[in-house]
Structure 1
Amino acid sequence: MQINLEFERPEDGPASGPVTVGWFLTKDKGAILYDPPERVSVRQTSKTHAKSASRCPAVIQMESRYFMVKCPFDLHIGFGRDEKGKAHLINRAGAGSAIRASKISEVLVLVNEAEWRFPDRPTVQLMLPYCFIADETVYLTQLGTFAHYRPDPLPGTIFGGRFPVNLWPRPLMWAFEWHDPTKDLVLRRGEPLFYCQFEANGPDRPVQMVEAERTPALEAYMDKISGAVNYVNQSFSLFKAAEQLRPTKLLTPKAKG
C-alpha cells in the first residue's frame, strides 16, 4: 500500500509560501559581538553515496527548520557558597578572563535560589539582545544544540521555551539548569549556544530569515509589553490584550547596504 505523505494547503494567499521571520538586536551596544542566526546545517559531510544521510530529504528538511544562535562570550564559571551558605558564581578564568570581572554580572546572572526548580540545581541566565518578529502567527521554540557535539558536555540542561513571536517579541536569554554544580560551566565564543525552531500555519512552509529594522512602531509595541512578566504569574494570559494593541505590520526587513 502506498501512503501519500504530502500535505494539502492553498497555493495562494497569506498562508502560502515561505513565512518571513525577522531577527534584530534590542541594543546597538556591543552589537559586533553578536553573530546573525544561522540555519543549522552539518557542512562538509560526505554526499558521494546516494543513500548518504547528507542527501536524505528527511535530514535536510529537519535541518532547514532550525536556526542556531552562537555564544558571544568566553566564560569559565564555577558555583560556590560563601561562609553563610549563600550561593554565588566564581570566575574561574580569573585575571585571564576575556570579560572584565566587573562586567560578568551584566551578562550572566545567578537566579534567586527560591526560584530554582530543584534545590540542588542552580539556575543561571545569560542575558542576550536577540529578538525575533513576524507579521503572521509564528511560534518560536528555543532548545538545546542537539546536532552539535561537545567534547566536554555541559554539566546540565538548558530551559526550553515556546511562544508566538508575532505577539511577544522579547529578548531571548539562555537559561541553564546546573545539574552537577561540582563541575564548571564552560562556554566558548562562536560555539552553538541554542537552536530556534519556527512553526507557522502549515507544517511544510519553509522559513525565510531576514534582519529586521527596529522601527519606531516596533519599539513602541515592545515598550507596551516589556516587563509584564514581573507583574503577572502567567504572561501568556496577556496575549489577547497584546494582539489588540499590535499594529498590523511590525516586520520591516533591513535595507542591505
Structure 2
Amino acid sequence: MDISINYTRGQDDPKSGPVKVGWVVSDVEAPVIYDPPRRVNSRDARREHGKSASRCPAVLGLESRYFEIACPFDINIGFDRDKDGRPHLRNLAGTSGPIRASTLGKRLSITNEAEWRYPDRPIIQLKLPYIFLADEPTYITQLDAYLHYRKTPLPGTIFGGRFPINLWPRPLMWAFEWHDVSKPITLRRGDPLFYCQFEFDNPERSVQLIEASMTPELKSYLEHISSAVNYVNQTFSLFDAAKRVRPQTLITPARS
C-alpha cells in the first residue's frame, strides 16, 4: 500500500510559494525600541570549510524556520514578598539602570499567585506589542531561544504557546516561570527572548515575513477578540465566531 505524501504543487497554485506572514507593532510607547523580528542564523559562525557545521543543509534548514524576538530593554529583577506576604518584583538596577521602575512596571508584571502552576514558581509576564498575521491557515508556536548561549542561565523556563494567527492574532508576551527565586532574572537589550515558528499546510514551503500596516479593519478585528480571555476560559472555542467577522484580508504591506 502506497502511503507516500506528494507535496508538489503546480506553479499556478497560490499555495505553491512561500507562506506570507505579516507582523505589526500595536500601539505602544516608544515603538522604536522594538526591533523587527529576525530570522535565526549563526551570524558569527565560520563558513570557510566545505564540511563546516554552519554550512550543513539540515542546520540551515532548521535555523531558517525560526524567527527571534529580541528583548527591547535591559531587565535586572529579583523576587520578594512584602510584609503581608504578597509577591512583588524588585528592580535590582535601581536608579542607575537605563529604565525607570515606574516604566518597567507598565510592561513587566507578576501574575496573581493563585494562577501559578506551582506554588513555589512565580510566573511573570513581559507585555510585547508584536502581532503576527496570516491570510491562510497558519499556526505560530512560541518556544525558548535554545540556540542562544547565556553565560548565566535564566533561573527558570519560558511558557511556550501555539495558536492560529489567521483567526486569533494577538500581541505576544514573554511569560516566564521562575524556578529559583533566589536568583535574579537578567536580560540585556538585544538578547533573544524567544523564537517563533510557523506551521501551515506544506512542510516544504518557506516563510516570507512582511511588515504589515495597522489598517482600520485589522484594528477593529483585534479589538473584537482582544479581551475575550477575561471572560472565557477556553478562548479556542471562539474560533468559529471569530471566523464569521474576520476581514477578508489581514495583511496589508506597510508602505516604505
- Sort the TM-score into its range (normalised by shorter chain): over 0.9
Contact 2:135–2:166 (CA under 8 A) maintained in structure 1: yes
Identity among equivalent pairs (%): 58
Q: Select between 171-180 and 89-98 the one with higher mean Cα deviation.
A: 89-98
| Secondary structure, aligned partner of 2:102 | helix
1:186 aligns with 2:186: yes
Structure 2: give runs of 5+ residues left out of the alignment: none
Contact 2:76–2:91 (CA under 8 A) maintained in structure 1: yes
**Corresponding residue for residue 9 of structure 1:** 8
| Secondary structure, aligned partner of 1:242 | helix
Give the drift of 1:9. 2.8
Distance 1:60 1:126, change over 3 A: same
1:214 aligns with 2:214: yes
| Secondary structure, aligned partner of 1:142 | strand
Between the aligned partners of 2:6 and 2:70, the Cα distance in structure 1 is 33
The 5 A counterparts of 1:27-66 are 27-66=27-66
Contact 1:75–1:98 (CA under 8 A) maintained in structure 2: no
Contact 2:108–2:127 (CA under 8 A) maintained in structure 1: yes
Give the drift of 1:48. 2.3
Between the aligned partners of 2:233 and 2:8, the Cα distance in structure 1 is 37
Contact 2:120–2:179 (CA under 8 A) maintained in structure 1: yes
Contact 2:28–2:129 (CA under 8 A) maintained in structure 1: no
**Corresponding residue for residue 241 of structure 1:** 241
Between the aligned partners of 2:97 and 2:22, the Cα distance in structure 1 is 33
Aligned residues: 252
**Corresponding residue for residue 255 of structure 1:** 255
Give the drift of 1:241. 0.9
Between the aligned partners of 1:145 and 1:194, the Cα distance in structure 2 is 5
Structure 1: give runs of 5+ residues left out of the alignment: none
Between the aligned partners of 1:235 and 1:197, the Cα distance in structure 2 is 21
| Secondary structure, aligned partner of 1:95 | helix
Give the drift of 1:85. 1.2
Contact 2:156–2:176 (CA under 8 A) maintained in structure 1: yes
Between the aligned partners of 1:28 and 1:22, the Cα distance in structure 2 is 18
Report the TM-score when normalising by structure 2.
Answer: 0.95
| Secondary structure, aligned partner of 1:223 | helix
Give the drift of 1:140. 0.3
Residue identity opposite 1:136 in structure 2: E
Give the drift of 1:187. 1.3
Between the aligned partners of 1:87 and 1:130, the Cα distance in structure 2 is 28
| Secondary structure, aligned partner of 2:69 | strand
Give the drift of 1:28. 4.8
1:94 aligns with 2:94: yes
